[in-house]
Structure 1
Amino acid sequence: MANDMMNRNNNDIFDAMNDWLDFPRNFFDNREMSKMMQSDVAENDKEYTVKVDMPGMDKSKININYNDGVLSISGSRKSFKDNSKKDNSIIHKERMEGHISRSFRLPNVVASNIHAKYDNGVLTITLPKQSAGNGDNSIQID
């Protein structure tokens, strides 16, 4: 137990050092945009279900494609502008613009029957199983 506590404390020190040493790389790495596409993929005998968090995205700016056994999702958004208080300066900003994308290998899908829904910042895609689709199949979002 004592060793676990010591190791945990030592790991915190090393993690802090690694964070500091990685600062230049992380400073230019857009981690906030990558956090936007946290996802869950579930499977049963009949279908795959993919749920992706895409908060702040306009449905028209999200693209979904299934081709050669790979589901690709991409989206973009513009930065948020708050002109309500012109006298104040922003001291912390996390909402930003950018383009994000994610791909999942999901074989044996009937591409023509894929269904997508976007509700409250969550994109839900249902991919019925059977055989791999042929060709490029764009998917519309309800």
Structure 2
Amino acid sequence: MTLMKWDPWREIEDMFDRYTKAVGWPRGGQEALAPSDWTPRVDIAETETEFLIKADIPGVEKDHVKVSLENGVLTIQGERKTEKEEKDKKFHRVERFTGTFMRRFTVPENVDPEAIKAVFKDGMLHLHLPKTEKTEPKAIDIHVD
């Protein structure tokens, strides 16, 4: 038998996720909550040239993933199919979520929407959001009559 280290923070985070999903509260400030069966975990990083979003979606087929950008909101959605029940198989524990998922993120204004690239490999979705060149805000003097 393998011993596992207990992580109370992970249990608290899981409990909070289940609670906020049950009452319908959004968890993040920039993320819009959408009805779904489960929520994939993501990492968001920034370099000088791009934003990178990595989403964990193991067990999801590439054809069941859709990425879209509309009105400055990036949406990742898809579905993980339930395994077929086998009569001679008895499950002792099922922890993996199945069903539909959706995550939404507000995209910064300095992202080039035409150059967004999505790569799906080995259950990981990598979204590359290239930045546009910075535009300096300019002051405009308006004459008041």
**1:130 and 1:58, CA in 2 relative to 1: closer, same or farther beyond 3 A?**
same
Within a 5 Å distance, the mapping from 1:129-140 to structure 2 comes to: 129-130=131-132
**1:88 and 1:60, CA in 2 relative to 1: closer, same or farther beyond 3 A?**
closer
TM-score after normalising by structure 1: 0.62
Within a 5 Å distance, the mapping from 1:1-142 to structure 2 comes to: 33-34=38-39, 37-81=40-84, 83=86, 86-107=87-108, 108-130=110-132
- Determine helix, strand or coil for the equivalent of 1:112: helix
Separation in structure 2 between the aligned mates of residue 104 and residue 65 of structure 1, nearest angstrom: 11
Separation in structure 1 between the aligned mates of residue 115 and residue 98 of structure 2, nearest angstrom: 32
- Cα-Cα RMSD: 2.9
TM-score after normalising by structure 2: 0.60
Q: Hey, which of these two has a bigger chunk of helix by percent?
A: 1
Unaligned runs of 5+ in 2: 1-7, 23-36, 134-145
Residues 101-142 of structure 1 deviation map (CA, whole Å, 9 limit, x = unaligned): 1111121211111111011111000011128xxxxxxxxxxx
- Percent identity, aligned pairs only, is 33
Specify the alignment match of 1:135 in structure 2: none
Separation in structure 1 between the aligned mates of residue 84 and residue 48 of structure 2, nearest angstrom: 46
Separation in structure 2 between the aligned mates of residue 121 and residue 90 of structure 1, nearest angstrom: 23
